[in-house]
A and B are shown apart, each in its own frame.
Chain A
Amino acid sequence: MADARKRLDIETAAGPVGAARSHDSAARHVAGEAVYIDDIAAPEGLLHAYLGLSEVAHGRVLSLDLDPVRAAPGVMAVLTAADIPGINDISSTHRHDEPVFATDAILHHGQPLFAVVAETRDAARRAALLAEAQYEEAPPLLDVTAARAAGGELITDPLKLERGDVTAALAASPRRLKGSMEIGGQDHFYLEGQIALAIPGEEEEMQVLSSTQHPSEVQHMVAQVLGVGSHAVTVEVRRMGGGFGGKETQANLFACVAALCARKLKRPVKLRPDRDDDMMVTGKRHDFVVDYEIGFDDDGHIHAVDAVYAARCGWNADLSGPVTDRALFHMDNCYFYPAVRARSEPLRTHTVSNTAFRGFGGPQGMVGAERFIEEVAFATGLDPLEVRRRNLYGEAGRDVTPYHQTVEDNIAVEVIARLEQACDYRARQAAIRQANVESPIIKRGIALTPVKFGISFTATWYNQAGALVHVYTDGTVMLNHGGTEMGQGLHTKVAQVAAQAFGIGLDQVKITATTTGKVPNTSATAASSGSDLNGMAALDACETIKARLVAFAARQWQERPEDIAFRQGFVQIGAREIAFAELVKAAYMGRVQLSATGFYATPKIHWDRKAGRGHPFYYFAYGAAAAEVAIDTLTGEYKIERVDILHDCGTSLNPAIDRGQIEGGFIQGMGWLTTEELVWDEKGRLRTHAPSTYKIPVASDRPRIFNVTLLQDAPNREATIHRSKAVGEPPLMLAISVLHALSDAVASVGGHRVCPRLDAPATPERVLVAVERVRKEAGR
């Protein structure tokens, strides 16, 4: 039976799980053969839709003359809200505050008013510009300050977390300080923009190919807009060219408009906005203003924190509720606040509706936490890392979060200690301080910051997943699950799980496009949950099939079920070793079902939002990063010179893919906190709506010295898939170390006596302003 093993592509005797396998599409990516929606051969009769957008940020449409659009060359139809057979709403939280097309009120610049369908995309795009709209303009509220000044209308219910008597604790604190911090937003800048292709079928049927992280929601929204049942709509996504949260709800609009047009014209319709329109229409990471008061003592121990997290939410609620909630859930980061009160203030503004973005509010909460630490450090004269350490969660009595969940898996102390030693933090810090004395213009800074990120959707019902596994008679496996592939390697990881389960090679497993027709009622691929949820659901399906195979083999070969095992490369049946394909073929002949669904629901979690209490997170993912930077005190320019990361992936399912998430997440977070600046003008027009003006990191921005280590021998305490940990979002927050290294460098111009209070994004301009302020306050 030795050749049974030879035939299979087995990574190691241990199987594919844990191996650094390439992304399943890597060879197609590099050859330009990986197919994205815009690459699909056009179905016969394909037409192209384009959106007509509002030219003002706030007001009413007085009149909209679409005749010039209709008269434009190549135009087939122009559709408005009046053409919607179902409901003119795509609000993901079912608040009915997100019309597909505006009917009267204009709530942001770039709000869709109509769609035009033409024979070519170019014709549709040109025609869309010909509409003549008259508006009654009203002054737009563009940011937190303006929204507050106008009364502070909340767009969704705020959250309050409270533990202990904050007022009393603040009053009793030896020292107190107050402050405020601005934290900027971020455009997703997925390289593949939003796109949908809708193909009408018989009667009410509609197939939609959508670049979405949430096919089930697109399905429901299309059904709602078309006024049909969900069973008439199939949504499929093979892969996205990046998502990062920007395609969790924001794909709905494009899919629904494409489907609406396809339905109306009874022809396939594709909708792909230009990059600039994409950036002007879709929501982004929420920017926040955090107002805080901290009680502490001279030893740097925090006694109490009272903070308000105001967010620019934009024109509709979208996911602003859960995003601002998650900001509060991470306002502690790794730190214990003996008394704490945190309130969210999700404000309505006349800007794009801010939405999910990798970290989902968590990063903003965590940036706030690190500011609290920094304030205390400068106020007490202690080293920031020492203040961090003194305030970490600890033993009983210091292990309860502001939302009353006990931190049971705390490894922050160990992660910080290991990284501090591995990167020679103390010696480098001393050397930098010394060298700065000799360098009047260029100043260096270093900082080490930890990350603790809660894993699970705080909408508890989202923590479920399904899978569908078919085993064919040649022993190959087709696997489908509810998760979507956006580059994060989810399909590769889940295929590894399935291959391991059957003891077959990874090349024997094929994952096909995610489709609502195969696995229904799925959750968004979001909250870092992809492999946790779908890996388990796939494993469940595999185990169902394996149980049938074991029962069959026991009958067939007269062995006890406990003597049958799926080894890597063969199946052990008593003393026999046979190929998986051989067993499968025999089972088929024995009329055994070789297909199964799988299901998983995350255990342990519960959350009472009204009470602000519960156990919303199954576990926490940890990490720490140390960043070293150089700033130019004449211009504010800076360079990130070195970064060391130690990150906790539990027992990694795939160290190569996890490393990719850590490095990529870090750089994306670095961009958010440094050069990525969103600017709106006074009319509410986004001025940074293209890569020429919106600057995400390029190759030379990454640190030349970039040491990334996965925490070893640290299996997840919880029974997750192969004891791994989620890795999609947590590494983004490792980049907070960069903000604090910049701050450390700025502080050097004031002898480290004045807190730089460097807000984000720390553009060269912000750094220079901070340098000048610190110099002035330090009297230098």
Chain B
Amino acid sequence: MPNLAARGVFHDMAGRMRDVLRFLLDDELIEIASCDPTLTVLDWLRLERRMTGSKEGCAEGDCGACTVVVGRLDRGRLRYEAINACIRFLPTLDGCQLLTVEHLKGSDGALHPVQQALVDCHGSQCGFCTPGIAMSLFALWLNEPAPSVARIEDALAGNLCRCTGYEPIVAAGRRMYRPQATDRFTGRRKAVAERLRSLAGGETLSLAGPAGRFFAPATVEALADLMLAHPNATLVAGATDVGLWVTKGMRRLDPVIHLGRIEALREIENGGDHLRIGAMATHVDVRTALAALSPQLDEMMRRFGGEQVRNVGTIGGNIANGSPIGDLPPALIALGARLVLARSRHCEERSDDATQRGEPVAPGLLRSARNNGDGLSRRSLSLEAFFLDYRKQDRREGEFVEAVIVPKLPDGALFHVSKISKRFDEDISAVCGAFLLRLGEDGRIAEARLAYGGMAGIPKRAAAGEAALVGRVWDEAAVAAAIAALPGDFTPLSDMRASAGYRLTVAGNLLRRFLIETTQPQLASRVAGLLAEAAHG
């Protein structure tokens, strides 16, 4: 890349470079040398490839009309996921396979079993959401042999249909599994995986287009170096929020550093008394890991965005984004999670932010021995200390979230998460409450961690509420005392999601729900979701 090097872009880069984006469009190898960093997959399909089957309904990843399926290598295995093409940046498809509604029909022109089931069940009316729905069902069909109705609903939570009322669509989600139903994708997985392997590599992808530059390093070391070189770069993980800066905020991002190719950041390790979750672990994978800690976390993660968002959104992105209503932080704060933040050692040398908060990372929490001496400097910080103010976090120059350390629940601890939103699925919390209580040997509350989202400019613990609980027996009087203390902790806002009064009332009532679920588990306490269905039997 003599031209780019001449512009001084890579003067400080040691690793290998590739300046061509490569991915498969179904079977076709696409190679693109010049590409704007934030060109969306949807615009590329519709405007450049003239493949107009995928539709734009909202351009913010909420309606699913643009749903396509992306195949990627995950620890060497091919994994297919439904994603929103409207907020996915094209260069982030490097090394992936892209499948759209145009690819579903067989070579003989016969409808795919998913498509045929939609026709048979009268699953389309106006038809505009239908391609996206077909692709969400197609992803389900590829991945799961016998989903329950609840699971079909989950897989469709990111697809809005305004005509049918969903009944025939869910019916199609069952009918598509008729015996002998097959397609041309099933038998090709090995071959596709092989081709994707041939596209993978340890080099940094470096693209430029008229509107800016795009980097996708394959290692954390390369990432740290890039951040050192480009302190104003926008880090992009799943782009479920950053995508909207582009499609709604009309922002031009330059340069963009994409983290998706760094396999090491996706790893989830079981550390005995804790989980070490790489920052790029997707919500789907985080759900699996957290579900093992508590069914409450399983249910909370189930309701995280739609399937398309859960497939690409990451734990690191959800935290580093700093949203006051992010669903994960309250739960992680209640659990006592810590962050591992990393940056190039060169940052330390030239940076003047010597006032170091946080602590060095305990050797046990490093990913592996090779983290030592990899040229990165790390610190660890409790999650709640990371959030400083509305959309402001304690992230220093050149620093990125590398991992989240989530302690497992101590024996006998009581734990609870509730997300309250206008709509159950695919909605943003009005209030999110996550609580952890440790009881002492005397049966009294020894430690209380009450964390809330939606109650302040940042995810925040209720210090007064916690203080009111400690030392008490876990009973109605304790709950009443904590509720009485909450107005001292929070002055929530009124907005389109809820009024301040509702937020405060519900914040308290969630403690009542917590008490009931921990002391009278036989009582029904939820109206919908996994926990309600489990209670129904």
Contacts and interface: CB of A to CB of B under 8 A. Distances in A.
Contacts of B126: 190-192, 239-243, 486-487
A96 B152 CA distance: 50
B168 to A, nearest CB: 7
Nearest to A21: B122
Contacts, number: 268
A668 B167 CA distance: 13
Contacts of A617: none
What is the predominant secondary structure among interface residues of chain A facing chain B? Answer: loop
B382 interface: no
B527 interface: yes
B153 A191 contact: no
A462 interface: no
A607 to B, nearest CB: 31
Contacts of B525: 441-442, 632, 634
B153 A30 contact: no
Interface stretch (A174-182, A535-543, A686-694): A686-694
A359 B140 CA distance: 36
Contacts of A29: 118, 124, 127, 130-131
A702 B162 contact: no
Interface stretch (A35-43, A501-509, A592-600): A35-43
Interface in B484-524: 495-499, 502, 505-506, 509-510, 512-513, 516, 523-524
Given A702-B167, A768-B505, A439 B524 contact: yes
A687 B497 CA distance: 10
Contact of B60 (A667, A690, A708): A690
Given A242-B162, A698-B156, A700-B425, A31 B115 contact: yes
A668 B160 CA distance: 12
Given A30-B118, A192-B55, A765-B502, A41 B528 contact: no
Given A441-B523, A701-B424, A31 B104 contact: yes
B318 interface: no
Interface in B519-537: 523-528, 532
A27 B111 contact: yes
Contacts of A660: 122, 125, 163-164, 168
Contacts of A687: 495-496
A624 to B, nearest CB: 17
A242 B163 contact: yes
B159 interface: yes
Contacts of A773: none
Interface stretch (A150-158, A367-375, A635-643): A635-643
A656 B425 contact: no
Contacts of B346: none
Interface string B43-70: 0001000101111111110110100000
Interface centre among A239, A274, A764 (most CB of B within 10 A): A764
A28 B247 CA distance: 28
Given A192-B128, A692-B60, A693-B497, A639 B152 contact: no
Interface string B16-32: 00000000000000000
Given A36-B55, A691-B58, A698-B426, A191 B160 contact: yes
A702 B167 CA distance: 7
Contact of A439 (B46, B499, B523): B523
Nearest to A680: B496
A448 B418 CA distance: 32
B154 interface: yes
B496 A679 contact: yes
Given A22-B119, A632-B526, A700-B528, A189 B162 contact: yes
A35 to B, nearest CB: 8
Chain B, interface size: which category?
35 or more
Contacts of A442: 524-527
A696 B122 contact: no
Contact of A241 (B127, B510, B512, B527): B127
A699 B527 contact: no
Given A36-B55, A244-B162, A635 B506 contact: yes
A151 B509 CA distance: 42
Nearest to B211: A122
B513 A441 contact: yes
Interface string B124-142: 1111111100100000000
Given A441-B525, A696-B162, A704 B149 contact: yes
Contact of B528 (A189, A439, A639, A695): A639
B472 interface: no
Nearest to B127: A29
B169 interface: yes
B516 to A, nearest CB: 6
Interface in A576-610: none
Contacts of A639: 424, 527-528, 532
A706 B168 CA distance: 11
A241 B63 CA distance: 13
Nearest to A276: B248
A39 B102 CA distance: 13
Contact of A22 (B122, B156, B159, B524): B122
Given A663-B165, A700-B153, A635 B53 contact: no
Nearest to B528: A639
B16 to A, nearest CB: 34
Given A32-B100, A675-B422, A691-B58, A700 B160 contact: no
A576 B496 CA distance: 71
B174 interface: no
A159 to B, nearest CB: 30
Interface string A390-424: 00000000000000000000000000000000000
B326 to A, nearest CB: 14
28 contacts: A25-B124, A31-B53, A31-B111, A34-B127, A38-B56, A191-B57, A191-B128, A191-B161, A192-B57, A193-B57, A242-B128, A637-B420, A660-B125, A663-B164, A664-B125, A664-B163, A679-B495, A687-B496, A690-B60, A693-B497, A695-B423, A698-B153, A699-B152, A699-B153, A699-B161, A701-B423, A764-B422, A765-B499
Given A191-B63, A192-B128, A692-B60, 11 more contacts: A22-B122, A26-B118, A191-B57, A239-B126, A634-B513, A677-B422, A690-B60, A691-B58, A696-B162, A698-B423, A699-B170
9 A-B pairs closest in CB distance: A32-B53, A487-B126, A241-B128, A29-B127, A667-B165, A487-B125, A32-B101, A691-B62, A39-B52
Interface of B: 46, 50, 52-60, 62-63, 65, 100-102, 104-105, 111, 114-116, 118-119, 122-131, 134, 149-150, 152-154, 156-157, 159-170, 247-248, 250, 418, 420, 422-428, 430, 495-499, 502, 505-506, 509-510, 512-513, 516, 523-528, 532
